[in-house]
A and B are shown apart, each in its own frame.
Chain A
Amino acid sequence: MSTQDTFDYSAHVPSNAEKFRQRTLPLLIFAAILVAIPLTGPSRTMYTLMHQMGINIVLAMSYNMLLGRAGLLSFGHAVYFGFGGYFAMHVMNWIADGSGIWGGFPVFLLPVLGFGAGALAGAVIGWPSCRRAGTTFAMISLGVAELVASGAFMFDGFFGGEQGISGDRMNGPQMFGLTLGPISQVYWFIAFWTIVGVAGMYAFTRTPLGKLSEATRDNPQRVQFIGYNPQRVRYMVFIFAGGFAGLAGAMSAVNYEIFTPDAFSLGPSGFILIMAYVGGITYFVGPIFGAILLTYMQSMMSDFTDAWLLYLGVLFISIVMFAPRGLAGIVFGFGAGLRGPRPRAFLITWLTHLAGIALMLIGLIVLVEIAVRWSNGYGEAFAPFGLPLAQSNPLSWLLVLLSALAGGALTRRAARMREAQA
């Protein structure tokens, strides 16, 4: 007891320089990167990809407010994304009509309304579902998502039925001289709101509510002892998470100019969950990694291979089984290891592990690609780097087997080395 009383906390307060380096600087660097990207003269394809990444970054991070920070596993996060997007879509059409007060509303500010709509949906749906945590919460979120997704096809007035609601973003007053017509102008819209979203969510983690949400995740009883109601904490966090998802929804509405009821369904919700988890839910920046990688896989890898979803599944399961702290955990773990007491031994172990994984991956890729071509039945052979690997070629099977075995051996060796070090 007495030690606590006399403990001097002031020694642990970060200095202003530390605060700047740890809190403000990463955000400034992030913003600088986003500003610098157009200077490289990206192609249309690159713009398309980056817009989707921006949307997914905000979305995955808003999801992590629930899963990572508050410990709430949701299977229905796309619902709030959808409501934010739908409301933005309707407002976009009101702006086009120029009716009433909406005529003077700039399309650029739609994400603010998206935030409001998402937060409102979170407030309505969260009220009954946040009373419980754990599996019950997960099941309610799943039920709500399916309910909204199938119900959306009934109310054509708001959801537009099978073809959804489309609009035109080039209406209303302009902001910053952006017409939002060409794709390079939309970039500034996306970049601006991505930064606002990330900064906003970071600021949220610094508030008492953000701190309390972590406390509620770890030990709801103790939160109750110190006089807070865990249900209310969860509910408040849920509303904010819904709001940021709605913000991402409005970004998507402006980018694609269409929203369909499919946006609410289990598929998109599952993708959000995978993005956040693969990135690493225990880190604030984890979902950014996940969003970038998975968006890239979704848009680019699907051009190279029919089986990209299979690779995604393998990636997700591997993360769940072997690296529950996600990509961010791997990256930061690497950094920490290098700064550790024995960087050399760590690096060797790490490289052995990496080589093992790479070898196993080669085996998997060869196997899957041969299978995909066999399945398509167009008679095309898999030939990486001009090496013909037909399914009749014994070399291909040898390659699959050898690389898998060698990779397995290497990873096991790495594991043993790690144990010896520990």
Chain B
Amino acid sequence: MNIKKTAILAAALSVFTLTAATADTIKMAFIDPLSGPFGPSGESAYTSFQLAAEHINAAGGVNGDKVEITGYDNKVNPKESLVQLQKALDDGARYIVQGNGSSVASALIKAVNKYNARNPGHEVLFFNYAAVTPAFTNEMCSFWHFRFDAHADMKMAAITDWIKQNPDIHKVYIIGQDYVFGQAVAKAAVEQLAKKRPDIKIVGNELHPLGKVKDFTPYTQKIISSGADAVITGNWGADMQLLMKAAAESGSSVPYLTFYGGSKGTVAALGAAGVGRLYQVSEGITNLPASPEQYALIEEYKKRFPQYDYYYHRAFNTMAMFKAAAEKAGSVEPIPVAHALEGLSIDQAYGKAIMRASDHQVQQPLYISVVSDDVKYGVDDTKYGWKLVPGGTISLEAAEQPTTCKMKRPT
């Protein structure tokens, strides 16, 4: 029930693994879907982490130690994830990386909390790069958990601010996946719209099963008949791609405001119909002005993994922050690294990234972009790519949201 691709991928990815045996290795376990409907989401992140690790190792590693990332396939199933976590721990991993699915992240946070309490001296840290249910850095916050992606309330604030500036929007339809994350997105949308645009009518608030719907036509037809002016969705992976496939088929021109429009295949599913219609909010897009090194990285990624596009910028941020923290702490042990991560600030390609100490939630600028045919980098092997909308930059300070976290640190 699991696929370990370390050996296979490492052999293909890196010549540096040959020398890795001589130095100590820092073992990281990447627990995410590597097969099934969400397989591409997991794999494109996995390849991003691999490339980031490879760059770090090429530049001398972390405090001289090499980083090794091993993939564990969890099929977005929380129970299976705990089985894989157990295997990862047995294999000697001290850092757990996961992102796809808040249901999984929630189980992992609880499991890591318990494991660390029961096994002092063998603590592990959980780096969450994409599970964005706000609770994880609020009421559920944990010293062992760090989130490297903006959470749902932060992203929703960006979307609702954009809606606020568009007086043409009067009716909004919310559609999402029926689990803790989709519910959080719907709740945030309803609350924030009521505050920012009380005149807006929410004409639909729909949750569908996670990863099980194969034909979204009935849903898109419902959206059309509701007369919505805009759709808000937190869908990701296949659920995002198929929703847009059905939207393209139904021929309506309602704009879709998404968290994960960048999921593989989504832009291709819409084709020309996506231009000016599919929006996403993310921590960076390839078509932002950037340094030559960043452009080189984007091109290197595409060359190495032609089936994916450079999308998981936060994977590179995660690894960069880990390296910076380990160097600051002078150790690769989880507890010193965790303390060093608190309040750590790095300069990344699209602005600063600060790990807020009070709740372990990264603070970074966010960007609202829309599909355009006039871009430097297209995605999904089409000419369509993501372009910043006017006024679409949300500064780090503006994106910040308060937290209710009462962090308990080990003494």
Footprint of B on A, CB under 8 Å? 43-45, 48, 153, 161-164, 166, 168, 170, 181-182, 256-260, 262-263, 298-299, 302-303, 306, 373, 376, 378-380
Contact = CB atoms under 8 A, between A and B. Distances in A.
Contacts of B86: 44, 48
B90 interface: yes
Most buried by A among B9, B78, B101, B102: B78
Given A163-B106, A166-B107, A256-B82, A378 B8 contact: yes
A306 B103 CA distance: 26
Interface string B1-16: 1111101110110000
A256 B102 CA distance: 19
Contacts of B104: 163
B4 A303 contact: yes
Interface stretch (B18-26, B110-118, B353-361): B110-118
Nearest to A150: B209
A259 B110 CA distance: 13
B2 A302 contact: yes
B179 A162 contact: yes
Given A166-B110, A258-B79, 13 more contacts: A45-B90, A162-B78, A162-B101, A163-B180, A164-B107, A166-B107, A170-B114, A170-B118, A256-B79, A258-B78, A260-B79, A263-B79, A373-B8
B83 interface: yes
A306 B3 contact: yes
Given A256-B82, A258-B78, A378-B9, A163 B103 contact: yes
Contacts of A153: 178, 209
Interface in B59-112: 77-79, 82-83, 86-87, 89-90, 101-104, 106-107, 110-111
Contacts of A166: 78, 106-107, 110-111
A43 B9 CA distance: 27
Contact of A258 (B7, B107, B210): B107
A380 B118 CA distance: 40
A-B pairs, 9 with minimum CB distance? A162-B179, A163-B103, A378-B12, A162-B103, A45-B90, A181-B118, A378-B8, A44-B90, A260-B79
Given A257-B114, A376-B8, A262 B79 contact: yes
Interface string B230-273: 00000000000000000000000000000000000000000000
Interface in B266-324: none
A304 B9 CA distance: 14
A373 B9 CA distance: 11
Given A45-B90, A378-B9, A260 B77 contact: yes
Contacts of B90: 43-45, 48
A162 B111 contact: no
A380 B210 CA distance: 34
Contact of A379 (B2, B12, B102): B12
Contacts of A170: 114, 118
Contacts of A263: 79
Given A258-B107, A263-B79, A378 B102 contact: no
Contacts of B7: 380
Contact of B78 (A168, A260, A379, A380): A260
Contacts of A302: 1-4
Contacts of B1: 298, 302
B83 A380 contact: no
A373 B123 CA distance: 36
Contact of A259 (B79, B102, B118): B79
Main secondary structure of the interface of B (DSSP, over half): helix
Contacts of A168: 114
B102 A163 contact: yes
A43 B89 CA distance: 12
A42 to B, nearest CB: 11
A378 B4 CA distance: 13
Given A44-B90, A263-B79, A380-B11, A162 B180 contact: yes
B210 A162 contact: yes
Contacts of B8: 373, 376, 378, 380
B103 A161 contact: yes
A48 B209 CA distance: 32
A378 B87 CA distance: 24
A379 B5 CA distance: 13
Contact of A163 (B11, B89, B179): B179
12 contacts: A161-B178, A161-B179, A161-B180, A162-B78, A163-B102, A170-B118, A182-B119, A258-B78, A298-B1, A299-B87, A376-B8, A380-B12
A182 B103 contact: no
B2 A258 contact: no
A299 B83 CA distance: 9
A256 to B, nearest CB: 6
A70 B248 CA distance: 54
Nearest to A167: B110
Contacts of A303: 2, 4
Contacts of A164: 78-79, 103, 107
Contacts of B103: 161-164, 260
A275 to B, nearest CB: 14
Contacts of B83: 256
Contacts of B119: 182
A258 B103 CA distance: 12
Contacts of A182: 118-119
Contacts of A258: 78-79, 82, 107, 110-111
Contacts of B107: 163-164, 166, 258
A162 B2 CA distance: 20
B81 to A, nearest CB: 9
A279 to B, nearest CB: 19
Contacts of B89: 44
Contacts of A181: 118
A381 to B, nearest CB: 10
B178 A45 contact: no
B145 to A, nearest CB: 15
A302 B3 CA distance: 7
Contacts of A161: 103, 178-180
A262 B75 CA distance: 11
Contacts of B11: 378-380
B388 to A, nearest CB: 34
B61 to A, nearest CB: 23
B78 A45 contact: no
Interface in B321-343: none
A302 B74 CA distance: 13
B3 A163 contact: no
A396 to B, nearest CB: 18
A164 B89 CA distance: 22
Interface centre among A48, A182, A258 (most CB of B within 10 A): A258
Nearest to A304: B4
Contacts of A299: 87
Contacts of B4: 302-303
A48 B83 CA distance: 9
A43 to B, nearest CB: 7
A299 to B, nearest CB: 8
Nearest to B76: A162
Contacts of B12: 378-380
Nearest to A302: B2
